[in-house]
Structure 1
Amino acid sequence: MFPWFAVGHMTLFPHLSNRLAERDCFITFLLPAKAIQQLQHFNLHPHLITFQPLTVPHVDGLPTGTQTASDIPIQLNHLLATALDRTRDQVETVIYDIRPKLVNVAHWVPEITKLLGIEAINYSVVSAASIAIVLVPARNVPKDRAITEAELLPFGEGITFYERIPKAMKTSDALAIRTCHETEGQLCDYIGSQYGKSVFLTRHVLPEPSKRPLEDRWCKWLSGFQRGSVVFCAFGSQIILEKNQFQELVLGFELTGLPFLVALKPPKGASTVEEALPEGFEERVKGRGVVRGAWVQQLMILDHPSVGCFVNHCGFGSMWESLMSDCQLVLVPHLGDQILNARFMAQDGWFSKESLSKAIHSVMNKGSAVGSILKENHRKWREMLENKGSMSSYVDKFVQNMQQLVK
């Protein structure tokens, strides 16, 4: 497995690997050394799942020591793609040494695997909707639609993002997507017909309940509030807001009158979240509001009984993980696939403190008609996701598909 060097992407691969290891599959991960430290605790089968460290080369324009997308603003992702591509010699050496049956691909990996008779499979951890709308051949023709600035910019050396992903899909022997027939079956069929390849589905492989306890500081703080009363907010490892958006967001939480815990990176132009807070904010929310600029245990916080609402950026991984909790959701997407996931916000991702406060109250107020509908929908999704029999059958089928591919 050789995922994109973003924590939100890399984290999803160990969850699938654990399910495959339960079926006696051997998996080797190719990851930056820093990422191995972050993901090691997800490995439930170390005798079958091994982590192979990659040295991420320096690329001019990247801060020294950059290894993952969490180390940089999203505007520098194209340079991280160049760094990933420059690990090719290391990746090729590992593939030659262990001769796997299957390799998850970057766009250049099939050039290596085809020489060795190894199959390449493209595993996508974004929604099938995102792929179907943007990355299928029929829609990836600039003369037939408006060309965005992002499409013209390199994403790696000599290749754009909108060339990179389709190339990986076209040159792979099969496609795999982290979704299920119940939610995106028709879109998956469309993608398969566009690329002329089999599409294997893994369902939304979710992590096993963590055995690590929630940090004592957060456990004590959250326990000081009534059940289901706290609003928790996290926007992932890469979203960095403009200062005015950041201030509008935290003022929205203040406006709710509810207790809240916000975990965000400092906004642009600020070295800490504290220096970017609105004047007088900390004094006004003292005792009921915390804004944190460092990583927190998201899944364990969502499981705490005091947390009743999760305000998130609707990354594909966070979206499905959040449905496994009892929290109501308020979605504030920022990037293209997040907007597709949420189908909620305007194209620039702007929000006002009033609209945020109103959205939170609409899902948390017990007498709210909207909240009742959303709560029932949430319950149905959670039942579907918690169906262990369905999850197991999807993974069994995925393993059978892989076995047939390598025969």
Structure 2
Amino acid sequence: MSESDCPKLHIAMFPWVAYGHFIPFLHLSNKLAEKGHKISFLVPKGVQSTLENMNRYPNSIQFFPLLLPQVDGLPPGAETTSVVPMNQQKYLAFAVDQTRDQVEDILQVLKPDMVFYDFWFWIPDLARRLGISPIFYVVVSSMAQWLNTKEVTKETTVEEVMKMPPGYPSSAVKLKPEEAPLELFAAEDFGSGLSFRQRIRKSRLESDAIAFRTCRELEGPFLEHGAKTFGRPVLLSGPCLPETNTQQLEDKWVNWLSQFEPGSVVFCSFGSQSELQKDEFQELVLGFESCGQPFLVALKPPQGCSTVEEALPEGFQERVKGRGLVYGRWVPQELLLHQPNIGCFVNHCGYGTMWEFLLTDCQIVLIPENLDQILNTRLLVNELKVGVEVERGKNRQVSKESLSEAIKLVMDKENETANMLRANRTKLKQTLSDRDLQEEYVNNFIQALQDLVKK
């Protein structure tokens, strides 16, 4: 049967309320809509206008706004994690849980074939009652999922949870005991009486299938291990990369970067969720100062400061004038990464950002913070050898010396290790950017979804 003869699917999308989840769900929606499938996308009302700009198929992708109730502890009007501190996100989860009746009404009218979700543990039960197949869609690393397969009690030790399960494919891609994420052990309510971990575990266990936004070329052995562990069909959408951005970089960035040699500028961005202490912020910028390269650092003002300027070390601006720029507002990260004068990218290795930088020619320096970022980093540094991780000292602090050394290493064109990293990364970029490969993943993914609907 040809692609045009296959029955078209109607899929509802209901991601966790963070842009790092909205956007990959929408990238997948665009890929599916391109093949003629219908998408109904459930989002908080205030988010719709932002996402509409990324909807490439408005005739096939329709947004359905949800009205989040005001709950105690949640800032008024808050609808996404970008405006809610980490310690208050449990209230945000609870607020979305209160939209269950709205979601049920929408799904009952739409009657989609399946619903893709992640944090919403109550979706499987609701969906099955309506004859809809629940698909757990993972938009972060597949490598971390084994942690959620283990039972955790008050007596469980860090070592027991962190122990690699039988058959885990790599001793190089793992966490150290001091990196154990607190959410694995936190018993506190993360909305509706479930801990963060219980939420994810229940969502995954009660799905009809687990879909990953990744490919075998990057995470193959880990996906094979997961397929044996989860007891559910494992589907791969491929990276679902967006179309090449046709936007032009603003003149202010082009003009500033054009002062420097091609491939010489170090660019740093940690994303919207990163919250540095003032001393951490100062140590980082001093590391960029001492690396000897021109640099553009885009970081949010640290805690307790309203601007980045007031947080800078004394005399810093005078010392780096003409060579370094610290910017405290949003920057067009993807466009900057493709600007030819930028030669090194320092970042946290979030999953979405990882796909962006793997398609560039930048050298990679990584400073991971949370569980997924650490595992992403270990995969790229220890297994695939395409970047370096900045060494941390006591209490996992990053010193200006360790950051500067890492940058100097990858930027040294005579260094054997730097050249090896560059060659490995170039080879991986060629593989991931292959249009035929991406197309094959999407087609196989759709076929797997159609097979699920037939059962």
Deviations 1:301-349 (A, max 9, x none): 1111111111010001111211101111100111111111112455954
CA 1:149/1:308 → structure 2, altered by over 3 Å: closer, same or farther? closer
Q: What displacement does 1:121 show?
A: 0.2
Check the 8 A contact 2:269/2:299 in 1, yes or no.
yes
Corresponding residue SS for 1:406: helix
> Retained in 2: the 8 A contact 1:7–1:237?
no
| 1:149 Cα deviation from its structure 2 partner | 4.8
Within 5 Å, give how 1:184-199 maps onto structure 2: 184-199=219-234
Distance 2:34 2:365 in 1: 35
- The residue type paired with residue 388 of structure 1 is R
1 CA distance for matches of 2:69 and 2:341? 44
What's 1:109 paired with?
Answer: 123
Residue matched to 1:385? 432
Question: C-alpha distance in 2, partners of 1:281/1:60?
Answer: 42
Q: Which amino acid aligns with 2:89?
A: N
Alignment of 1:239-258 (within 5 A): 239-258=274-293
| Worse overlay, 13-22 or 340-349 | 340-349
Query: Contact 2:90 / 2:190 at 8 angstroms: preserved in 1?
Result: yes
Secondary structure, counterpart of 1:11 in structure 2: helix
Asked if 1:37 corresponds to 2:49, the answer is yes
Report the equivalent of 2:103.
91
Q: Which runs of 5+ in 1 are unaligned?
A: none
Q: Say whether 1:376 aligns with 2:387.
A: no
Higher alpha-carbon deviation: 390-399 or 185-194: 185-194
Q: Tell which deviates more after alignment, 334-343 or 85-94.
A: 85-94
Give the conservation status (yes or no) of the 8 Å contact 2:392–2:402: no
Q: Are residues 1:359 and 2:371 paired? A: no
2:215 counterpart of 1:180: yes
Matches of 1:51 and 1:222 in 2, distance apart? 39
- The answer for the alignment partner of 1:140 in structure 2 is 151
Equivalent position of 1:56 in the other structure: 68
1 CA distance for matches of 2:189 and 2:42?
Answer: 24
TM-score (norm 1): 0.95
Letter in 2 for 1:316: Y
Question: What's the secondary structure of 1:278's corresponding residue?
Answer: coil
Q: 1:76 to 1:346 in 2, by over 3 A?
A: farther
1:329 partner SS: strand
- Structure 2 equivalent of residue 3 of structure 1: 15
Once superposed, what is the RMSD of the aligned Cα atoms? Answer: 1.7
Cα distance in 1 for partners of 2:45, 2:136 equals: 23
Q: For 1:25-78, what per-residue CA distance to the aligned partner results, in whole angstroms no more than 9, with x for missing partners?
A: 111111123332332222111111122222222222222221111112222222
SS in 2 for 1:152: coil
- Residue of structure 1 equivalent to 2:140: 126
Letter aligned with residue 366 of structure 1: K
Question: 1: distance between equivalents of 2:362 and 2:93?
Answer: 35
Query: What letter matches 2:399 in structure 1?
Result: S
Q: 1:293 to 1:87 in 2, by over 3 A?
A: farther
Q: Answer with 264-273 or 162-171: which moved more.
A: 264-273
Deviation string for 1:70-123 (max 9, x for gaps)?
112222222221122122222222111211111012211112111111101000
Distance 1:320 1:89 in 2: 36
TM-aligned CA deviation for residue 276 of structure 1:
1.0
> Does the residue aligned with 2:310 lie in a helix, a strand or coil?
helix
Tell me the secondary structure at the aligned position of residue 53 of structure 2.
Answer: helix
Matched with 2:322 is 287
2:196 alignment partner in structure 1: 161
Specify whether residues 130 and 265 from structure 1 end up closer, same or farther in structure 2 by C-alpha distance, changes over 3 A only. same
Contact persistence 1:8–1:236 (CA under 8 A): no
Shift in alpha-carbon separation, 1:361–1:351, aligned structure 2, 3 A: same
Deviation track 1:131-186 (CA, whole Å, cap 9, x = no partner) reads 12x112xx233355438753212221200111111101111111101122233233
TM-score, normalised to structure 2, is: 0.85
Cα-to-partner distance string for 1:376-397 (whole Å, 9 max, x where unaligned): 1111110111111111111101
Q: Is the 8 A contact 2:392 2:399 kept in 1?
A: no
Relative distance call for 1:57 and 1:346 in structure 2 (3 A) is farther
Using a 3 Å threshold, how does the CA distance of structure 1 residues 316 and 145 change in structure 2: closer, same or farther? same
Greater alpha carbon shift after TM alignment, 297-306 vs 253-262: 253-262
Q: In the aligned structure 2, how far is the partner of 1:196 from the partner of 1:33? A: 36
8 Å contact kept, 2:358–2:425: yes
Gaps of 5+ in 2: 1-12, 162-180, 379-388
The reply to whether residue 326 of structure 1 matches residue 347 of structure 2 is no
Once the two structures are superposed, the pairs formed by residues 259-270 of structure 1 within 5 Å of their partners are 259-270=294-305
CA deviation map 1:215-252 (0-9, x unaligned): 22112211222111111111111010111111101111
Query: 2: CA distance between counterparts of 1:168 and 1:298?
Result: 32
CA distance in 2, matches of 1:39, 1:46: 11
CA contact (8 A) 1:15 1:205 kept: yes
Instruction: Specify which of 212, 215, 226 is matched with residue 247 of structure 2.
Output: 212
Structure 2 distance, partners of 1:119, 1:280, is 60
Question: 1:346, 1:167 → 2: CA distance?
Answer: 34
Q: How far off its partner does 1:199 sit? A: 0.5
- Checking the alignment, whether the CA contact within 8 Å between 1:235 and 1:263 is kept in structure 2 is yes
1:405 aligns to 2:417 (yes or no): no
Q: Percent identity?
A: 48
SS where residue 14 of structure 2 aligns?
Answer: coil
